[in-house]
Amino acid sequence: MWYVSTRGVAPRVNFEGALFSGYAPDGGLFMPEELPQLDRGTLCQWSTLSYPGLVKELCALFIGSELLPKDELNDLIDRAFSRFRHREVVHLSRLRNGLNVLELWHGVTYAFKDLSLSCTTQFLQYFLEKREKHVTVVVGTSGDTGSAAIESVQGAKNMDIIVLLPKGHCTKIQELQMTTVLKQNVHVFGVEGNSDELDEPIKTVFADVAFVKKHNLMSLNSINWSRVLVQMAHHFFAYFQCTPSLDTHPLPLVEVVVPTGAAGNLAAGYIAQKIGLPIRLVVAVNRNDIIHRTVQQGDFSLSEAVKSTLASAMDIQVPYNMERVFWLLSGSDSQVTRALMEQFERTQSVNLPKELHSKLSEAVTSVSVSDEAITQTMGRCWDENQYLLCPHSAVAVNYHYQQIDRQQPSTPRCCLAPASAAKFPEAVLAAGLTPETPAEIVALEHKETRCTLMRRGDNWMLMLRDTIEDLSRQWRSHALNTSQ
C-alpha cells in the first residue's frame, strides 16, 4: 500500500513513511493511493469481530504484510489495548429513546485518543527497534492529547516524549494525568502562558529542518495517518453493533454522529464510508463552527478567535483533517485540493467550489451546539437514564434528541462518546449534576508529580532545544553501551 500527499507534489511513501511524518513535505496530508473496496462477504465476516479484531483487519488492509507481518501486527495491537479498563476495549451503551452511546473512553486517560495513540506508538516502536533508531516526540497540548501521548509512550524503548502544557490552563485532572507519570522517558514542562504562546517555541524548533532531522523529532497530532486509520474501527464497530440486520439488500444504513474539532474522526468515517461501510455521517461541533459552516454553506473560513466552550477539547479553529475530506470529495484531485488549501493558508477564507460543496453536503449532515444545549442534553440524558455524558459526547447526543423530538422516522443511530464524564467534573456541575469520580482519578491527587517550569522571562525555545540535545546524547551513549 502506497500513500500520496493530498497536494500531489511530495513523493509517495509506504506506511512506515507516513507513520513517521506529520505533514507531507509539500504541506499536504498522506492518504492511501487507492482505497480498497470491501464486499458484502467481507462485511458479514467482520460483523462478528471484537473491536480489537476490527482494528487488526483494518490495519492489515492499509499497512501491508510485507512491511508488518500479520501475526506481529496482531501482537502489537493486543499490546496496545492491554491496559484498557474494559474487556471489550470499546463498549456500546444502549439507552432510552433509541440512544446508542459508543464509549470510546475506557483507556487509561479516559478519552478516545488512547485508542489510536496506543496503537500508533506500538507501530512506531516496532519500526524503531528494527532500524535501531530513536525518536523524540514533542507535543504542545491544552488537554487530552498530551496525557494520551504520555500514556502511550511512557516506558517505550527508543522513544522519549516532551510535553509542553499551559500551566493553569488545563483542567486539574488533565494536568495531573500528565505530571504524575514519572517514567524516565517522559519530560513535562509547565509553561507560564496560554496554548498559543507555548506553540511558539515548538514551531520555531520544528522550523529548523536540519535540527529536526538530526534529532529525529516528531509530533503525534491528529494529522498522523496512523491515528486516522485506527479511528476507522470506531465506525465499523458502531455499524455492526447498531445495524438491525445484515440479511437485507442493500445493507441497512446506520447514522454515526461524530463530535469533532480537527475532523480526525470525520475523515476516518468518510474513508470507512468510501470503502463500503453503509453509514451516514453527522458531524457535530460546538460553537467553533467552521466545519458546520462549510457543510451548510461551503464557507470554509476561519472565525475571528477560538471560543471557549464546555466541550473544550473541541475548541479548535482549524480543522486540519478537512483537507483529507476535500481530497476524497474531489476524486483524489491534488490540484484542486492544493489550490483550495493554499488559498486558505493565504487568506484564511475559502468558498468551496459548487460541485465540491454539493458533494460534501450529500456525504455529511452537520450541527453546531451551544453550551446551553450541551448542559440541557447532559441533564436530559441523566433524567432519562441516570447516565452521565461528558460535554463532548453531549454535543453528539444533542443531535439525536433534536431528531427524536421532531419525530423523524429514523435510521438506527450511534453517537460517538470521546471522553468519560469523570474527566470533566466542571461541566457536570455546570449541568446541575453530581460528578462521579473513579478511584483512579481521586488517587491522582496524592501522587508524586514532576514538571519543569518554563517561567516568563526564560528562553523557552532554548530550554526545549537543550532538552532535545540532551536526550539525543543519552540515546547515543546508551546505544554505544548496548552494542559493546
Active site residues: 113
- Sheet arrangement for strand 279-285: 91-94, 100-103, 413-417, 254-259, 279-285, 364-368
Q: What's the maximum distance between 2 C-alpha atoms anywhere in the chain?
A: 72
- Asked if 314 interacts with ligand PLP (CB under 6 A), we say yes
Stretch that binds ligand PLP, among 41-49, 122-130, 134-142, 259-267 (CB under 6 A): 259-267
- Within 10 angstroms of residue 349's Cβ, the number of other Cβ atoms is 11
- Within 10 angstroms of residue 441's Cβ, the number of other Cβ atoms is 18
- Asked if 287 interacts with ligand PLP (CB under 6 A), we say no
Stretch that binds ligand PLP, among 308-316, 337-345, 374-382, 456-464 (CB under 6 A): 308-316
Cell of 58: 483494518
Q: Which of 7, 56, 106, 113 binds ligand PLP (CB under 6 A)?
A: 113
Least distance (Å) between residue 355 CB and ligand PLP = 26
- Asked if 261 interacts with ligand PLP (CB under 6 A), we say yes
Q: Which of 111, 186, 191, 336 binds ligand PLP (CB under 6 A)?
A: 111
Q: Which of 5, 180, 260, 334 binds ligand PLP (CB under 6 A)?
A: 260
Question: Closest by alpha carbon to 356, among 375, 337, 376?
Answer: 337
Instruction: State in Å, rounded, how far the first CA of the chain is from the last one.
Output: 38
Q: Is the dihedral of CA 474, 480, 482, 484 positive or negative?
A: negative
Cell of 333: 484531485
* Pick 392 or 400: Cβ nearer ligand PLP: 392
- Asked if 262 interacts with ligand PLP (CB under 6 A), we say yes
**Structural contact between residues 211 and 217, judged by C-beta atoms closer than 8 angstroms:** yes
* Pick 56 or 423: Cβ nearer ligand PLP: 423
Least distance (Å) between residue 112 CB and ligand PLP = 6
414 DSSP β-pair partners: 256
- Asked if 265 interacts with ligand PLP (CB under 6 A), we say yes
Stretch that binds ligand PLP, among 4-12, 34-42, 313-321, 453-461 (CB under 6 A): 313-321
- Asked if 140 interacts with ligand PLP (CB under 6 A), we say no
* Pick 282 or 313: Cβ nearer ligand PLP: 313
Least distance (Å) between residue 265 CB and ligand PLP = 5
The residue count for binding ligand PLP (CB under 6 A) is 17
* Pick 113 or 413: Cβ nearer ligand PLP: 113
* Pick 28 or 143: Cβ nearer ligand PLP: 143
Least distance (Å) between residue 224 CB and ligand PLP = 11
Least distance (Å) between residue 364 CB and ligand PLP = 13
- Asked if 264 interacts with ligand PLP (CB under 6 A), we say yes
Least distance (Å) between residue 140 CB and ligand PLP = 14
Q: Is the dihedral of CA 396, 262, 314, 81 positive or negative?
A: positive
> Which parts of 154-193 interact with ligand PLP (CB under 6 A)?
none
> Which parts of 194-233 interact with ligand PLP (CB under 6 A)?
222
Question: Closest by alpha carbon to 267, among 29, 41, 33?
Answer: 29
Q: For residue 366, give Cα distances in angstroms to 118, 136, 294, 380, 464.
A: 29, 38, 9, 21, 40
Q: Is the dihedral of CA 341, 308, 377, 91 positive or negative?
A: positive
- Asked if 238 interacts with ligand PLP (CB under 6 A), we say no
> Which parts of 382-421 interact with ligand PLP (CB under 6 A)?
392, 418-419
Distance CA 164, CA 201 (A): 10
> Which parts of 2-61 interact with ligand PLP (CB under 6 A)?
none
Least distance (Å) between residue 141 CB and ligand PLP = 10
**Structural contact between residues 183 and 445, judged by C-beta atoms closer than 8 angstroms:** no
**Chain-centre distance of CA 162, in angstroms?**
19
Least distance (Å) between residue 419 CB and ligand PLP = 3
Q: What is the DSSP letter of 29?
A: -
User: DSSP labels for 251-309?
Assistant: PPPEEEEEE-SSSHHHHHHHHHHHTT--EEEEEEE-S--HHHHHHHH-EEE--SSPPP-
- Within 10 angstroms of residue 78's Cβ, the number of other Cβ atoms is 13
Q: Which residues make up the interface to ligand PLP (CB under 6 A)?
A: 111, 113, 144, 222, 259-265, 313-314, 316, 392, 418-419
